[in-house]
Amino acid sequence: MAQQDDVFKKIVSHAKEYGFVFQSSEIYDGLSAVYDYGQNGVELKNNIKRYWWDAMTLLHENIVGIDSAIFMHPTIWKASGHVDAFNDPLIDNRDSKKRYRADVLIEEDIAKLDDKIEKEVAKARKRFGDSFDEALFRQTNPRIADIAKEREELHERFSQAMNDNNLEELRQIIVDRQIVCPVSGTKNWTEVRQFNLMFRTEMGSTAEGAMNVYLRPETAQGIFVNFLNVQKTGRMRIPFGIAQIGKAFRNEIVARQFIFRMREFEQMEMQFFVRPGSELEWFRQWKEARLRWHKALGMGDDKYRYHDHEKLAHYANAATDIEFRMPFGFKEVEGIHSRTNFDLSQHEKFSGKKIQYFDPELNESYTPYVIETSIGVDRMFLSVLCSSYEEQQLDGGDKRVVLHLPAPLAPVKCAVMPLVKKDGLPEKAREIVSDLKFDFATHYDEKDSIGKRYRRQDAIGTPFCITVDHQTLEDNTVTLRERDSMEQTRVNIADLHRLIHDRVSINSLLRKLS
């Protein structure tokens, strides 16, 4: 674990050193859980958004996008339940004065039991070698059975307490499990309290005229309240979806793990409206489609898993998370929820406006059911960064840090370098840049040795380096160096466009999906 923490620290400082992510307001000592994206970060982020947006709107003729405002009528948050129920159970440690989410402390304790089981399995695998029957071992080993039983009982008790909103019981679980504060190491806990996560501000100039408004904690409600606008003006027929990318704000208590949990973050959400009764089939389809989208990036199928929810929100009849293996364990990156007709019905009730769909095939009106896919751009960014980072030992004792970013997401697609800064090589290199820049984010670099320049590009994940040398002037060929294999091939300048395009276009990812 300590080793994993180390890797994560390195990734965080790499993200800063190479212009991916900066602490917000850094020269004023920072603002907790708020981050800025630098020159490379913004490109990577934009590419993630483009991949998502195109996968939704280009590949599905029945999905359209919107961009709704961050400020919305405050009654929307009454209707959605956020005013009354968007609460986290908090607990403070009296010695360290640190505040924690009680549910997160308990979930981490459950995860420890899971780890224990995996350790037992790993130990046995080592001991038995090739003859190891893992399934049988998991079923029959008494030690595993004991841990699994303990886990089950704890999980059951925790789910019950969360379902009943029983704050005393949550505290009692923390006490009974002897959970300690990671900072002070003590069990000196306060009571558990509820805390609303929405940021509130005032709209309007005078004290009497001002209205309390919230910064939206999710983008989804902007879609629900525009359901009829889009359906009518776009002449949409069910089933259809509305997609949106935008900022969301949550006054998170536990602000740890870099950009994993932020107070200002970005979501990519799609609400898919379907006939009542068909929602579980659509849920299944979207669950699979979304995992395919992730896997198409080629970061390794074993890094993903589903986490189906046993405890469902009151409005949902199915829910799952897609989790990604971060250096600090498997963590939620995306949620897929079958939200029934809860949101549209609530808005109908609170606004007094009829929000129904007339289905011409059935010849009847109904409130559509909704499948939601909701993914955090920043968490996706973090998963891409973590899985791409590698410190590589090279032959000859050299070392390099390389980001194996999926090529279509890389901030810079190719860097063009004259071998030396004379003899007309810079001019030739500039000519190549002038041609490629219309299609690819292209860097020109003539400073330092060629080796150092390669390292700089490796560190930001540039898939291709193009080197112009004296031979180029004679026969119009260059060396094309590939980031991961470091292989260099001599290619014709005329072929560059095609060779690069095949690897780096978002198009190539989208084709894997359809």
Binding site for ligand ATP (CB under 6 A): 218, 250, 252, 261-262, 265, 267, 332-335, 374-376, 378-379
* Least CB distance to ligand ATP at residue 223 (A): 14
| Residue with smaller CB distance to ligand ATP, 262 or 478 | 262
In the complex, residue closest to ligand ATP by CB = 376
Q: Which two tokens stand for residue 76?
A: 């929307």
- Using CA atoms, how far apart are residues 297 and 322, in angstroms rounded to an integer? 15
* Least CB distance to ligand ATP at residue 379 (A): 4
| Residue with smaller CB distance to ligand ATP, 224 or 440 | 224
* Least CB distance to ligand ATP at residue 108 (A): 13
| Residue with smaller CB distance to ligand ATP, 306 or 358 | 306
- Give yes or no for a contact between 421 and 448, defined as CB atoms under 8 angstroms apart: no
| Residue with smaller CB distance to ligand ATP, 114 or 332 | 332
DSSP characters over 193-211: EEEE---EEEESSSTTT-E
* Least CB distance to ligand ATP at residue 267 (A): 5
Q: Which two tokens stand for residue 277?
A: 């009764």
| Residue with smaller CB distance to ligand ATP, 307 or 455 | 307
3-class SS of residue 290:
helix
| Residue with smaller CB distance to ligand ATP, 261 or 428 | 261
| Residue with smaller CB distance to ligand ATP, 177 or 337 | 337
Alpha carbons within 13 angstroms on the beta-carbon side of residue 235 total 0
| Residue with smaller CB distance to ligand ATP, 377 or 468 | 377
| Residue with smaller CB distance to ligand ATP, 314 or 399 | 314
* Least CB distance to ligand ATP at residue 217 (A): 8
* Least CB distance to ligand ATP at residue 106 (A): 13
Continuous segment of H or E residues that includes residue 229: helix 227-233
Residues ≥6 apart with Cβ < 8 Å to 152: none
* Least CB distance to ligand ATP at residue 506 (A): 21
Q: How many CB atoms lie within 10 A of CB 103?
A: 18
* Least CB distance to ligand ATP at residue 377 (A): 8
* Least CB distance to ligand ATP at residue 320 (A): 11
Residues ≥6 apart with Cβ < 8 Å to 137: 121, 124, 144
- Give yes or no for a contact between 336 and 308, defined as CB atoms under 8 angstroms apart: no
Angle between helices 377-388 and 39-57 (to 10 degrees): 110
DSSP characters over 92-157: EETTT--EEEHHHHHHHHHHHHHHHHHHHHHHHHHHHGGG--HHHHHHH-HHHHHHHHHHHHHHHH
- Using CA atoms, how far apart are residues 459 and 391, in angstroms rounded to an integer? 10
